[in-house]
Structure 1
């Protein structure tokens, strides 16, 4: 964890700046005290980050739970709602012990990539009003339809009546700094890789706010970060709220707790899968351990007045794209939230939201690059249809509905493209002394076999030789090919050699399994 501090610390700063307004905005959207969002962000970083096996995932309050939380608080009251959060956390730990984390493996790659691209588009669209100086909607809302009757696109029209020259100037300056830092300066001198560009953009935004105060191009207070500022230590302590455990007899509390556990676990598992896809080192997160970590975080959050916690893709993707290498980045971002809220809330309240909008513009663009759409289209209808349906569903409804639509299309597409034979996977150890293994693929292998194959591959010892026999395989899903591509990175680190055996030839360690299988007639 301490080996890559030179990369993790700068990344943690970026995640901190992204997480701060999201924690506050999601608390506002949930009808909860603003401080409850910060509590969830701190625990998501420090506690969940420490327990989790995810190297790049970042946890905190999630926009996807905002409607559930808002309804529950209105019905139960905040203190009784906190009991439901504790119950939800306990259920998540139970799910982890029962090994329910395997559910995450049954979502096809095209849907996960569609989720990432859809989130990227939403991030980009949702930040445009902040860049123009219009903050009628809260930060961190990712649903298409808004509680005030507006939607994502109508908000873009509404912002034209509230254009702030100062916000536009700050956005332009911030984008210029970020692009210059990443594309030019970081390639010329090592010093620019040590100092993160987003930190420089934030400092520039604060300086602009101070210098431009009282002028026609100044930044209005409503377009700044809003962190609660305690007047004394006792005032700070009073912001913590504790659950009313007498409400545990209320059936509605239990229903809310179960709902939180199910929705939070599903969102977490989906984000884990997505974050692992973004990981350049293709590390695999232990999903059962992740459920235990999330459950522990939710119990602690509920006990001291925090919102429910999940792993969240916006912060996780910002973490990956900022160059993080280990979970130290997520842990440090939690400590940064804690220290800043206690020590420098006044300074934080000078950060223009336009700076954070500029940072998220780049995050959104990298998640939904045009090259990704081109690549998915080139893979054929079986990959492109679930991908594009997931994106449309997420952008025009919400995260879970969009993923559900993409998954349904993916299943239907596979059923239409091929008849289902029984799927099986054999692993035969040829020689226990020299660690030679033989894996025989079935006639048809699809994404439904992804979890089993992934588990078998990662169970091989170091210095092994693996022979993969696809002689009888007539249909090999792209998800399986992608697993082999990703596993090749892991295999190289563990000195594992791989031989592909087909009906025509024997190919040792192809540079790209996806290229090999797409050009091989047998596959």
Structure 2
């Protein structure tokens, strides 16, 4: 349910998310090779439809940059945007089914080190991608999170290009905006409640519009060109507005290429949503846990609606969600407000949005990026030890040099390596007791869960037992012992007499095993 108890916090947060979301929706649509308005439709559906169904209090949904490349190739291969929309609808149906099958639990199997690395990696990417916009170099589209740029080059080559193509007015606006945002956050917001209700990002957007109007009237050479401003499609009439919507073409919905595309969209969108859901819960000051299966159902219904009216596929998006949290959002009302504002402005006053400089939004996103990748986070993860720090850092580097899902996959591989290494090392405990009659005595207790991965470590320990010793192997406390390990112990039993080793094995009884499983 939507609660209005926190409207004093949710309203300003919703306005900030709205300002950030509009250019991202347009940029992702441009990168996807789709009509610009399709990104706005996805933003509206994500803000209103998904929010009303979702159980996430702070997550914000909309078109996702991670799907842009898939969408671009899909539209080109299918040869029709309308046919592509049928795949979006079908992907939503698949997500709905995944929700009912309780597939949302997949998100719980990602280690904290990887989730925190994802958040920090997104923060670093936002900073790197927004620096060119802050300088007034707006060739790369808003919302791009890939290392390789669509027009050629990489994230870093774009930074060097930006230095050579500085737009003075954009630089002035972004520098002043950053100063205001920092001063607002660090000084003003701590002194008076009014500065908490009126968000700094709203002030810098108004400042950007005002400065550009000032340049237009008094310093025409400094005036920002249209490509430095938000560019929202403007309808000349009510009929023209409804013409911006597109109906899907279901004539090829059961063809192999559409079914395969729908399955791909459903899997990638669901995975990205679950990761962002987990990350958003980590950022939530109240540490609420969002129902993952309900989120899949909400995203499924959202994609069905989006596809039916001409929108891009959507997911929960960490950039918008983190902007929501950092702007003081408390409940899902802030996400709903952002969706309603997009719809209202698109219908009533789209020209006002087209006055917003991208440099103002770059300053806002630079602050979002910094808060996601604060130096204090790196220090905390380092203090937690290499088992946490290495997957964290690898995830960040991999995301920066590839893309979100690839980076997370690489981070997971490193985390799994440490999990397997720990499992290998903690398979058992060997205790040497006092020797009796001059014979050394050993007591080996197996861990609660012993898998085939532990074979090597156990075998190495058994080989170190000296001739003439006494050895007790105890796995009465083990809930699970892999058959491979049992076979290894049985083989050792057969060879122990050749070393004059007195071997005693304490096994768990079948009834006890069943009782443990029930518990």
Counterpart in 1 of 2:387?
382
Moved beyond 6 Å, runs of 4+: none
Counterpart in 2 of 1:26?
28
Distance 2:150 2:136 in 1: 20
TM-score scaled by structure 2? 0.81
Q: 2:43 aligns with which of 10, 16, 41?
A: 41
1:55 aligns with 2:60: no
Distance 2:185 2:361 in 1: 16
Q: How does 1:106-505 map to 2 (within 5 A)?
A: 106-213=109-216, 215-419=220-424
Distance 1:224 1:64 in 2: 24
Distance 2:296 2:425 in 1: 32
Deviations 1:20-48 (A, max 9, x none): 10000000000000000000000001000
Question: 1:300 Cα shift?
Answer: 0.1
Question: 1:444 Cα shift?
Answer: 7.7
Question: 1:419 Cα shift?
Answer: 2.8
Other structure's SS at 2:62 match: strand
Other structure's SS at 2:230 match: coil
CA distance change for structure 1 residues 210 and 99 in 2, over 3 Å: closer, same or farther? same
Distance 2:197 2:47 in 1: 22
Question: Which ranges in structure 1 are unaligned for 5 or more consecutive residues?
Answer: 423-441, 446-471, 474-523
Distance 1:236 1:150 in 2: 37
Contact 1:7 1:324 in 2 (8 A): yes
Deviations 1:191-213 (A, max 9, x none): 11111111111111111111101
Counterpart in 2 of 1:493?
none
Counterpart in 1 of 2:73?
71
Q: 2:8 aligns with which of 3, 6, 9?
A: 6
Distance 1:398 1:282 in 2: 27
Other structure's SS at 1:216 match: helix
Count of residues paired in the alignment: 429
Question: 1:247 Cα shift?
Answer: 1.6
Other structure's SS at 2:407 match: helix
Distance 1:18 1:287 in 2: 25
Question: Which ranges in structure 2 are unaligned for 5 or more consecutive residues?
Answer: 428-446, 451-476, 479-519
Greater Cα radius of gyration, structure 1 or 2: 2
Distance 1:388 1:202 in 2: 34
Distance 2:222 2:240 in 1: 35
